[in-house]
Amino acid sequence: MPLVTVAQLLAKAEAGGYAVGAFNCNNMEIVQAIVAAAEAENAPVIIQASQGAIKYAGLDVIVALVRTAAANSPVPIALHLDHGTSFEQCIQCITAGFTSVMIDGSKYPLAENIALTKQVLAAGRAVGASVEAELGKIGGTEDDITVNAKDAFFTHPQEAKEFVEATGVGSLAVAIGTAHGQYKGVPQLDFARLAEIKALVNIPIVLHGSSGVPDDQIKEAIRLGVRKVNIDTNIREAFVAAARQAIMANPNEIDPRKVLGPAREATKEIIRDKIRVFGSSGQA
């Protein structure tokens, strides 16, 4: 079927009390793995592209890959820009065929983040694209947020209310203890903060940096209102581990399909596992 928007998928997830997986893609095999996993689980799915993915694969290639995969698939699929950096980039992606964008104004002061998000929202509304914003700083595991620094980085519930009321944004990424990349220890999500945010903003919440967060914490976050769960690092790990294993098993192999095929299969399996944890199996 044609691509759908993230807003459409999250509205259904909100009603059903589950979350939709948002999986980062960088190449054809990962796109195919995401779609194959979604089909095997009969689940809706979001395929997203980061700055790095766009640079690596090219915007038009990503759109062509995902559009074609969606057109040939019976499950609903959205194409989303991950951590969009500017109004111009969001417009460029929407024009190229993305059905949804994230405008990440989290590094700006609140008023500037609000103004930027509103600008992207106005454009998105005009063409039916959905918009995600970020409040608080999610950062990377290398940022090493100490307990004392928590208050400076984590999303303030009252500020979230102000932000959502001022912008009318469709979904909000929050900082509640996750980070991008591989964790050094076990993350401990701030559920009290998440519950407070959800009570004040009546929109779907997005969890970034979800690779490596234990399943029970992911499930609790979904129970408290998370409706989109972003996964990249676990895909990288599965893909590269399987490719490495294939090469090590046959160091003289010269056929890329013999390396990338198993990588695609391993990626599909970890995505199926995630979809089950998110509760979106059977929700296509």
- Applying CB under 6 A, the residues found at the interface with ligand G3H are 24, 50-53, 82-83, 180, 232
Q: Phi, psi at residue 81, to the nearest 5°?
A: -85, 125
Angle between helices 59-71 and 28-41 (to 10 degrees): 30
Give the residue from 137, 139, 135 showing the smallest Cα distance to 166: 135
52 binds, among ligand G3H, ligand 13P, Zn ion, none (CB under 5 to 8 A by kind): ligand G3H
Instruction: DSSP for 166-193, please give it.
Output: HH--SEEEE-SS--BS--SS-----HHH
211 binds, among ligand G3H, ligand 13P, Zn ion, none (CB under 5 to 8 A by kind): ligand 13P
Known catalytic residues?
Answer: 82
Rounded Cα–Cα distance for residues 15 and 150 (Å)? 32
Choosing from 208, 228, 264, 268, the residue that interacts with ligand 13P (CB under 6 A) is 208
Choosing from 5, 99, 113, 210, the residue that interacts with ligand 13P (CB under 6 A) is 210
Q: Let me know: does 138 contact 180? Beta carbons within 8 Å.
A: yes
Rounded Cα–Cα distance for residues 14 and 44 (Å)? 13
267 binds, among ligand 13P, Zn ion, ligand G3H, none (CB under 5 to 8 A by kind): none
Long-range CB contacts for residues 154-160, cutoff 8 Å, separation at least 24: 154/190, 154/193, 155/193, 155/197, 157/193, 157/196, 157/197, 157/199, 157/200, 158/200, 159/110, 159/135, 160/135, 160/197, 160/200, 160/201
Rounded Cα–Cα distance for residues 65 and 180 (Å)? 25
Query: Contact between 80 and Zn ion (CB under 5 A)?
Result: no
- Shortest distance in whole angstroms from residue 181 CB to ligand 13P: 5
Helix (H) or strand (E) holding 47: strand 45-49
Query: Contact between 100 and ligand 13P (CB under 6 A)?
Result: no
Query: Contact between 181 and ligand 13P (CB under 6 A)?
Result: yes
For residues 219 to 258, the per-residue mask of contacts with ligand 13P, x marking binding by CB under 6 A and - elsewhere, is -----------xxxx-------------------------
- Shortest distance in whole angstroms from residue 270 CB to ligand 13P: 11
Nearer to ligand 13P, 178 or 283 (CB): 178
- Shortest distance in whole angstroms from residue 80 CB to Zn ion: 11
Nearer to ligand 13P, 122 or 240 (CB): 240
Binding residues for ligand 13P, rule: CB under 6 A, are 24, 82-83, 180-181, 208-211, 230-233
